[in-house]
């Protein structure tokens, strides 16, 4: 039988895509497949995205097996971080005064440096290869990366047409895929390459001489791989998925339930809390969907690392011209899904963009449109707990005036529990919100826990999960979610009138 491996190591996101439903075997960090060296066992290898370079979790044993497979002319496809691993080097010093260089395997002659894109894309096929044979039309997929500037002498394979880069509108084509000189090692920054382009899957199977019987076996074995992926939260972290208790079993009835996590501003800890909640709810046996208001779906990846969930075509909620899909369409797609609960991460403050004439342009407008219950978060590390309490009360009152159902309030980065407890009665009296909770300020000494500066998915996600489970009432938070339906967006004039009322 044809055997196609997928690397299962800390920092990787093997559930992020289906990879054409092709992986048949798991390759662990020791470079073994079912106790046998990967090169002796596999016919091909897929290396998924993640923080493989930053995490440093690619062992020497696994590196040796990847190099051996390349030398033996076996096909290897690296996606995003997998591409970076196959290249020469990557500069991960996005906010550093000097480059921070990490070495790759040197199998594809390219280097990487910071360039942020999170677009749905169409990509031009620039050269022939074993996966692009006979393809003349553009291929589909998406980008979600921080280190996407690719330069080098390798034969280019794809150029992606992007609309935005580094947080600004900038339509252009960027180098997004390459093939090595021998033609068997391919790297690309395009996610869903195998899921959205059936001809590429067909070409790969033809290259492996897989007949119809072999293909049936591959797909059957892939089901086993997916069951393995979903036996635990995270990767080798000892977080088994529990059997659903009665409290959570009722959430599997009917359609998925929705809950938005909004905030009073950036750096409040939304991504950290959403990540922890996603992992905690998945541990309880629920299937958790994740959405992001606006285009920067990178914020969802740590949560998907824990849940082994997919980045869906609707994961980015469109606001103005930013994002992937209109929310009304997203809801309809989710109603047909098997998700039990969907967490929506807001963008910046819930009000950022509310008074832009383009509708919708903020998290609050998305919440209003469909009566989405919200947990509102504020960080108290800059202004103090008392200021945070006043700030979140003001935000809650305005949200309630606009028609948003604020179900919960969380003060994050709390450094003194007594002071927090002293603010609870005030917050509850002013907002009538019942669920008010706090998350302690963490003393993080390890690197890799700060999005936008340096994030390692394994460290960040485990820290978020453990912190959320320690500090928050998971059952209570799950009970705040509800089924929703899209109603309509308020007009700009309606928002202005409510704002000034």
Instruction: Please say whether the dihedral angle defined by the alpha carbons of residues 467, 473, 475 and 481, taken in this order, is positive or negative.
Output: negative
The confidence score (pLDDT) of residue 488 equals: 96
* Higher-confidence position of 161 and 101: 161
Nearest CA among 370, 344, 375 for reference residue 278: 344
Measured in whole angstroms, the distance separating CA 373 from the mean position of its chain's CA atoms is: 22
Classify domain 252-500 by CATH number. 3.40.50.300
**pLDDT of res. 447:** 46
Q: pLDDT band at residue 10, thresholds of 50, 70 and 90?
A: very high
Strands of 89-91's sheet in order across:
101-103, 89-91, 110-113, 149-152
Q: Flag the least confident range among 40-44, 93-97, 192-196, 269-273.
A: 93-97
Judge whether residue 42 has pLDDT over 70. yes
pTM of the model: 0.95
State how far the Cα of 123 lies from the Cα of 148, in Å rounded to an integer. 15
Q: Class for domain 4-230, per CATH?
A: alpha beta
In the chain, CATH 3.40.50.880 covers: 4-230
Q: 447-479: per-residue pLDDT in tens? A: 455 555 567 899 999 999 999 999 999 999 999
Q: What is the mean pLDDT of residues 22-37?
A: 96
Output the pLDDT for position 57: 75
pLDDT band at 427 (very low <50, low <70, confident <90, very high): very high
Q: Tell me: the pLDDT tens digits for 82-93?
A: 999 999 999 887
The mean predicted confidence, pLDDT, of the chain is 94
- Our measurement of the distance from residue 469's CA atom to the centroid of its chain's CA atoms, rounded to an integer in Å, reads 20
Which of the listed ranges 46-60, 95-109, 290-304 does the model predict with the highest average pLDDT?
290-304
pLDDT the model gives residue 444: 62
Q: What is the mean pLDDT of residues 49-67?
A: 89
Q: Distance between CA 177 and CA 361 in Å, rounded?
A: 33
Share of the chain above pLDDT 90, in %: 88
pLDDT in tens, 166-178: 999 999 999 999 9
User: Which whole number is the average pLDDT over 315-337?
Assistant: 97
How far is residue 151 from each of residues 91, 147, 215, measured CA to CA in Å?
12, 11, 36
pLDDT of residue 454: 61
> For residue 39, is pLDDT > 50?
yes
Q: Where are the domain boundaries for CATH 3.40.50.300 in the chain?
A: 252-500
Query: So what's the pLDDT on residue 452?
Result: 53
pLDDT digits (tens, 9 = 90+) for 347-396: 999 999 999 999 999 999 999 999 999 999 999 999 999 999 999 999 99
Task: With a cut of 80, say whether residue 94 has pLDDT above it.
Answer: no
> Higher pLDDT residue, 100 or 140?
140
- DSSP per position, 346-373: --SSTTTTTTSSSSS-SHHHHHHHHT--
Rounded Cα–Cα distance for residues 439 and 46 (Å): 39
Q: Interior CA angle at 171 toward 168 and 173, to 5°? A: 125
Mean pLDDT of all residues in 184-197: 98
């Amino acid at each position: 039988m044809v055997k196609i491996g997928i690397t299962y190591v800390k920092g990787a996101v093997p559930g992020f895509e289906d990879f054409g439903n092709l992986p048949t075997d798991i390759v662990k960090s020791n470079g073994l497949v079912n106790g046998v060296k990967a090169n002796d066992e596999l016919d091909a290898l897929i290396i998924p995205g993640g923080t493989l370079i930053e995490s440093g979790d690619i062992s020497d044993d696994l590196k040796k097996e990847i190099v051996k497979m390349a030398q033996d002319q076996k096909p290897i496809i690296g996606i995003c971080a997998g591409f970076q691993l196959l290249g020469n080097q990557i500069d991960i010093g996005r906010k550093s005064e000097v480059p921070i260089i990490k070495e790759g395997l040197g199998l594809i002659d390219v280097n990487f440096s910071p360039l942020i894109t999170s677009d749905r894309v169409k990509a031009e096929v620039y050269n022939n290869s074993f996966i692009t044979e006979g393809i003349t039309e553009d291929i589909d997929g998406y980008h979600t990366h921080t280190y996407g500037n690719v330069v080098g002498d390798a034969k280019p394979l794809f150029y992606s047409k992007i609309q935005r880069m580094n947080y600004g509108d900038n339509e252009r084509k960027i180098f997004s895929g390459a093939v090595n000189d021998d033609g068997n090692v391919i790297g690309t920054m395009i996610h869903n390459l195998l899921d959205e382009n059936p001809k590429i899957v067909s070409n790969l199977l033809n290259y492996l001489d897989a007949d119809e019987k072999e293909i049936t076996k591959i797909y059957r074995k892939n089901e086993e791989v997916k069951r393995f992926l979903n036996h635990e939260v995270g990767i080798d972290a000892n977080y088994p998925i529990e059997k659903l208790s009665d409290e959570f079993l009722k959430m599997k009835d009917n359609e998925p339930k929705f809950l938005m996590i909004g905030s009073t501003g950036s750096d409040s800890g939304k991504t950290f809390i959403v990540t922890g909640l996603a992992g905690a709810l998945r541990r309880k046996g629920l299937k958790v969907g994740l959405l992001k208001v606006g285009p920067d779906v990178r914020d969802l990846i740590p949560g998907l690392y824990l849940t082994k969930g997919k980045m869906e075509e609707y994961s980015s909620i469109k606001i103005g011209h930013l994002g992937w899909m209109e929310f009304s369409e997203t809801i309809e797609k989710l109603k047909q899904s098997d998700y039990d609960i969907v967490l929506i991460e807001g963008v910046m403050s819930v009000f950022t963009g509310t008074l832009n004439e383009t509708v919708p342009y903020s998290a609050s407008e998305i919440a209003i449109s469909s009566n989405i219950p919200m947990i509102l978060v504020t960080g108290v590390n800059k202004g103090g707990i008392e200021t945070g309490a006043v700030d979140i009360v003001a935000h809650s009152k305005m949200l309630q005036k606009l028609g948003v159902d604020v179900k919960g309030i969380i003060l994050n980065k709390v450094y003194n529990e007594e002071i927090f407890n002293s603010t609870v009665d005030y917050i509850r009296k002013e907002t009538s919100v019942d669920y008010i909770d706090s998350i302690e300020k963490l003393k993080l000494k390890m690197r890799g826990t700060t999005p936008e500066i340096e994030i390692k998915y394994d460290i960040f996600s485990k820290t978020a999960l453990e912190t959320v489970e320690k500090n928050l009432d998971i059952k209570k938070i799950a009970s705040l979610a509800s089924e929703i339906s899209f109603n309509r967006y308020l007009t700009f004039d309606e928002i202005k009138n409510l704002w000034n009322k």
